[in-house]
Amino acid sequence: MPVAADNCANTTLTQIDATGFVNGDTFPFGSTFQEFTVTDAAGNPGASSCLIEIIIIDDEAPVLTCAGAQGAFADGNCDAVVGDYTFNCSCR
């Protein structure tokens, strides 16, 4: 979050971007831009807005774990289901 300062103690920080994300949210992978303005207690707007780029980087490689050998007995139709795999063999 940006920090606003003024010669008076009361300032209002307003988020003006359309992302819908606020401080503490979980941001998506990639870049998200947030934009803020400030107004003091007398209604004076800040001279400019503040644009913040939040960059979420995924630098961790995925991990694949292979199952060991799988086996099952074929049913009367010569089919077998093992885990997420379906096998259809030729009965002899």
- The answer to pTM > 0.85 is no
Q: Residue 84's Cα: distance from chain center in Å?
A: 28
Write out the residue range of the structural domain in which residue 45 sits.
11-56
CA distance 50 to 34: 8
Q: Which value, in Å, is the radius of gyration of the alpha carbons in the chain? A: 29
Q: Does 91 fall in a domain?
A: no
Q: Does 48 fall in a domain?
A: yes
Please give the pLDDT value at position 3.
Answer: 85
Backbone angles phi, psi at 91, to 5 degrees: -75, 145
Q: Does 32 fall in a domain?
A: yes
Structural domains in the chain (count) = 1
The predicted model gives 25-34 an average pLDDT of 94
Please give the pLDDT value at position 31.
Answer: 95
CA distance 59 to 43: 45
Q: Does 62 fall in a domain?
A: no
What counts of helices (H) and strands (E) characterise the chain? 0, 5
Q: Does 92 fall in a domain?
A: no
Q: Does 79 fall in a domain?
A: no
Phi and psi based region of residue 83 (left: phi greater than 0; alpha: psi -120 to 50; beta: remaining):
left
Q: Does 3 fall in a domain?
A: no
